[in-house]
């Protein structure tokens, strides 16, 4: 399989056709070899417009996925990443999105709580000098690298923890998909003078990221 041709086809047929026009985002998708961030058995599937499983469900933990290219590109465009931005990539998995962010931002902290995925990310991102991989609970973020210009959450969430929002610098933004299935929406949360506002942009059905479900309330 010619991965370079497949990568170009992904950009032309899956990403450009969903109103992604950012030159820097398109260039990053052309540059990063998506096949290098999926298991060996799934490399032939790397450039399909689907989520790709990178870690099977085990031990009560759900499976983890590399996000489908088209919504991922739209979310990265929505993030409006600057070359000097300090970014926290929450749920980095095997590191694919961190690699994209490395080409778009100044520096990236790649956060992962699954030990095997964190080790894979470290290996996959070894050549990206502006990325550091850290292990820890996703919903708690990484305070040692804060404040961040951008926090990017790799998957859909039911709620955005205040702990993550508190790690944004003034004017910083958090990009995520909130909700599950057909009711999910791409949102940008922006921190301004100690207050957080949110804006809704488009529908986006992506796989959920574990650890971001609302605490269930007791009903009398």
Q: What number of other Cβ atoms are within 10 A of residue 213's Cβ?
A: 13
Residue 215 lies in a domain: no
Give pLDDT tens digits for 70-98.
999 999 999 999 999 999 999 999 999 99
Cα 24 to Cα 210: distance, rounded to the nearest angstrom: 30
How far, in Å, CA of 8 to CA of 3, rounded?
Answer: 9
Q: Is residue 63 part of a domain?
A: yes
Cis peptide before 147 (omega within 30 of 0): yes
CATH number at residue 148: 3.40.50.150
Estimate the crossing angle of helix 96-104 against helix 23-31, to 10 degrees: 130
| 142 within domain boundaries | yes
The pLDDT tens digits for 101-139 are 999 999 999 999 999 999 999 999 999 999 999 999 999
CB 70 within 8 Å of CB 50: no
Give yes or no for residue 217 having a pLDDT over 60.
no
Report whether 53 contacts 14 (CB < 8 A). Answer: no
Q: Is residue 118 part of a domain?
A: yes
Contact indicator for 205, 191 with CB cutoff of 8 Å: no
- Count of domains for the chain: 1
Asked if the structure places residue 19 within a domain, the reply is yes
Q: Is residue 189 part of a domain?
A: yes
**208 is a domain residue:** no
Give the phi and the psi of residue 9 in degrees, each rounded to 5.
-65, -40
| Domain assignment of residue 146, given as a range | 3-203
Domain assignment of residue 31, yes or no: yes
For 139-183, the pLDDT digits (tens) are 999 999 999 999 999 999 999 999 999 999 999 999 999 998 778
- What pLDDT band is residue 7 in, cutting at 50, 70 and 90? very high
Q: Is the pLDDT of residue 216 over 70?
A: no
Per DSSP, the residues of 106-156 read SEEEEEE-SHHHHHHHHHHTTT-TTEEEEES-GGG--GGG-SEEEEEEEEE
* pLDDT value of position 50: 93
- Classify 67 as helix, strand or coil: coil
- Is 55 within 8 Å of 76 (Cβ atoms)? no
């Amino acid at each position: 399989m010619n991965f370079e041709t497949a990568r170009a086809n992904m950009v032309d047929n899956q990403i450009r056709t969903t109103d992604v026009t950012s030159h820097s985002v398109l260039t990053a998708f052309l540059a990063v070899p998506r096949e290098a961030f999926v298991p060996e058995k799934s490399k032939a599937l790397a450039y399909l417009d689907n989520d790709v499983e990178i870690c099977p469900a085990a031990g009560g933990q759900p499976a983890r996925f590399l996000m489908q290219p088209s919504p991922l590109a739209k979310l990265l465009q929505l993030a409006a990443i600057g070359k000097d931005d300090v970014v926290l990539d929450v749920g980095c998995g095997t590191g694919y999105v961190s690699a994209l962010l490395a080409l778009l931002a100044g520096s990236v902290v790649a956060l992962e709580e699954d030990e095997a995925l964190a080790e894979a990310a470290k290996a996959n991102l070894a050549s990206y000098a502006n990325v550091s991989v850290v292990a820890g609970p996703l919903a708690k973020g990484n305070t040692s690298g804060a404040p961040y210009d951008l926090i990017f959450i790799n998957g859909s969430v039911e709620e955005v923890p205040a702990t993550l929002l508190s790690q944004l610098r003034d004017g910083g933004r958090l990009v995520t998909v909130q909700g599950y299935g057909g009711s999910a929406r791409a949102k940008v949360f922006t921190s301004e003078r100690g207050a957080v506002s949110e804006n809704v942009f488009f529908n986006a059905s992506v796989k959920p990221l574990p650890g971001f479900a609302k605490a269930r309330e007791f009903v009398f």
